[in-house]
Amino acid sequence: MPGRIIKWIDQRFPLTSFVKHELTDYPTPRNLSYWWNFGFLAGVVLMLQVVTGIFLAMHYRADISLSFDSIQHIMREVNYGWLLRYMHATGASAFFFVIFVHMARTLYYGSYRAPRELLWWTGQGLLLLLMATAFMGYLLPWGQMSYWGATVITNLFQATPFFGDQIVIWLRGDYTVGDATLTRFFALHYLFPFIIIGAVVIHLVALHTVKSSNPSGIDLAAKDNIPFHPYFTIKDLYGLGWFLIVYSVFVFFLPDSLIEPANNIPANPMQTPNHIVPEWYFLPFYAILRSVPNLVGGVVAMGLSVMMFAFMPFLDRSRIPGGAHYRPIFKIQFYLFLLDMLVLGYVGYTPPTNQTLLIGQIATLCYFGSFLLIPFISRIEERWLVRRGLPPAVIALMESEALTIEQRRLKHRRRGEQA
């Protein structure tokens, strides 16, 4: 009977072939390490956020006179409302943590390189959507930090040439952050996750076209690929177990460690907090914003700092395949970059003094330097490595890649002659 039902479906919808193509026959490199679990984890966190968010929305009031109280209503009176709210608030941090690790893995192993540029860029789009969603969600509790964070960030749009002030008013729906801002942020905060789901589908289509990269950085022979199901479904589920353990420690035992105390004070437009800090996941970018003395320059620098990742396929032109695996200098660069992110995070967290301002400016230069110097450093590194000798598999891959490039060029030239 089940066989007949599936046959009936298959005549009308490609169910079996879809499962076969995307799961049971989908080739996945067998050498993937646990760093490759984080994409799956990001998907799980997205689902957690959507589900807890929908239930929170049933009890939340988007109205400046009610929203702060409605959060307390959820925390105190709704059945397991505290669990929903803490899961959602912790989930935001978990989402960024998982995404940052996912991105760090891509950078380390050079997974953004050809042919995976579009996969990387769709991921970049997802990062921007995630940041926008998190930023708008942070306004909803209507605490002091919510209000002043939204005020500071919407103010940045004043840097827009010609229409700066109008854009700020258009975004807020009012001259200051107020009821109009809250309701539209709520509407968009509810909408964006579904756009993210759509973008994730695109991200997965791109992934299933080019397939996963792997730690060796070399395309594997067919014998080294194994089907995604059951091998990686179980590996992902095992990783999910670990993730949920860490997540639960935060949700049940340290839920307030990720909530700024000032956000437990209702928003007060008449009183600026002593120092306005964004959530931890925005700190490095916030530090870059503050490091540039001029508003327009700061906004441009902050925007660029997020977008720099998208340029990686152009910046990293080394012929050595993969990422840091065969490239010792790239590896050092990668760790220095992480260190620089931590320094920027610290600078973003502390109230500005002359000293932290200077550290922030140096760290900002290092941040952009670590992207913009990649073409030059990788050229030198490549020459040095070739002279020193590379493993035969890598040389074979480099030669075959050089060959395809040459062929493409020849084809192009021939087409040009015909025309």
Partner 1 sequence: MNALVKVLVLCCFSIGAWANEVPLEKVNVATDAVTISRGAEDLMNDCHSCHTLKYIRYRDLVAFGIDKQKVDAWRGDQAMDSPLLGQFSDADAMQSFGIVPPDLSLMVKARDGGSSYVYSYLLAYHNSPDGVLENPVYPATKMPDALGIASATDAAQRTEIQGRARDIVSFLTWAADPHDAERKRLGYYVLGYLIVLTTLLYFVKNQIWGRLK
Nearer to partner 1, 159 or 343 (CB): 343
Provide the minimum distance between the beta carbon of 403 and partner 1 in the complex, in angstroms, as a whole number.
Answer: 32
Q: CA–CA separation, 118 vs 313, rounded Å?
A: 10
Active site residue 305: no
Give, as ranges, the residues between 375 and 414 that touch partner 1 (CB under 8 A). none
Q: CA–CA separation, 375 vs 381, rounded Å?
A: 10
Tokens read off for 193: 């996750």
Catalytic residue among 20, 59, 73, 208: 208
Q: CA–CA separation, 319 vs 314, rounded Å?
A: 12
Provide the minimum distance between the beta carbon of 359 and partner 1 in the complex, in angstroms, as a whole number.
Answer: 15
Three-class secondary structure assignment of 22-35: HHHCCEEECCCCHH
Provide the minimum distance between the beta carbon of 241 and partner 1 in the complex, in angstroms, as a whole number.
Answer: 3
- 58 lines the binding site for partner 1 (CB under 8 A): no
Active site residue 165: no
Nearer to partner 1, 237 or 358 (CB): 237
Q: Is residue 143 helix, strand or coil?
A: strand
Provide the minimum distance between the beta carbon of 230 and partner 1 in the complex, in angstroms, as a whole number.
Answer: 5
- 337 lines the binding site for partner 1 (CB under 8 A): no
Provide the minimum distance between the beta carbon of 389 and partner 1 in the complex, in angstroms, as a whole number.
Answer: 25
Nearer to partner 1, 271 or 418 (CB): 271
- 351 lines the binding site for partner 1 (CB under 8 A): no
Give, as ranges, the residues between 177 and 236 that touch partner 1 (CB under 8 A). 226, 230-231, 234-235
Residue of 27, 43, 178, 255 that binds partner 1 (CB under 8 A): 255
Residue closest to 360 by CA, chosen among 302, 297, 288: 288
Catalytic residue among 236, 260, 381, 382: 236
Amino acid sitting at position 336: L
Asked if residue 106 lies in contact with residue 120, where contact means CB atoms within 8 angstroms, the answer is yes
Residue closest to 21 by CA, chosen among 208, 236, 172, 288: 208
Active site residue 235: yes
Q: CA–CA separation, 7 vs 9, rounded Å?
A: 5
The most distant pair of C-alpha atoms in the chain lies apart, rounded to whole Å, by 77
Q: CA–CA separation, 130 vs 117, rounded Å?
A: 20
**304: phi then psi, degrees, rounded to nearest 5:** -65, -40
Q: How many CB atoms lie within 10 A of CB 389?
A: 8
Active site residue 93: no
- 275 lines the binding site for partner 1 (CB under 8 A): no
Give, as ranges, the residues between 87 and 146 that touch partner 1 (CB under 8 A). 101, 104-105, 108
The contact set with partner 1 (CB under 8 A) reads: 30, 33, 35, 69, 72, 75-76, 82-83, 86, 101, 104-105, 108, 226, 230-231, 234-235, 237-238, 241-242, 244-245, 248-249, 251-253, 255-256, 259, 261-262, 264-265, 335, 338-339, 342, 345, 349-350
Catalytic residues: 208, 212, 235-236, 279
